[in-house]
């Protein structure tokens, strides 16, 4: 079995691992992506209480605002 450990928030690492995985023939391949719950949203990041919980409208709008700012830096 071939496996790759990557930063699940790094688009370049994700794409590279997927491209490498496509070249492996005849054996299973796994990609293990390490991630942070709620990454990029100040009040959600690393807060288990948000796992499976929908934000209220005001929280949603704040989260989108923070994610949009974060996306500009990619």
Q: pLDDT per residue over 4-23, tens digit each?
A: 899 999 999 999 999 999 99
Measured distance CA(65)–CA(30) in Å, rounded: 34
The parent domain of residue 1 ranges over 1-35
Domain shared by 28 and 61, yes or no? no
Residue the block writes with tokens 């699940």? 8
Rounded CA-CA distance 6/34 in Å is 6
Exposed/middle/buried for 59, CB within 10 Å: 0-12, 13-18, 19+? middle
Above 90 in pLDDT, residue 73?
A: no
CB 36 within 8 A of CB 47: no
Are 16 and 45 members of one domain? Answer: no
Is 60 found in the same domain as 70? yes
- pLDDT mean across residues, the chain: 92
Q: Same domain for 46 and 73?
A: yes
Q: Please state the domain count of the chain.
A: 2
Give pLDDT, residue 74. 65
- Asked whether residue 18 falls in the same domain as residue 29, the answer is yes
């Amino acid at each position: 079995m071939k496996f790759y450990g990557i930063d699940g928030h790094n688009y370049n690492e994700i794409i590279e691992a997927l491209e490498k995985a496509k070249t492996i023939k005849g054996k299973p391949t796994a990609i293990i992506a390490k991630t942070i719950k709620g990454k990029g949203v100040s009040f959600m990041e690393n807060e288990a209480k948000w796992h499976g919980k929908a934000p209220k409208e005001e929280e949603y709008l704040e989260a989108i605002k923070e994610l949009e700012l974060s996306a500009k830096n990619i």
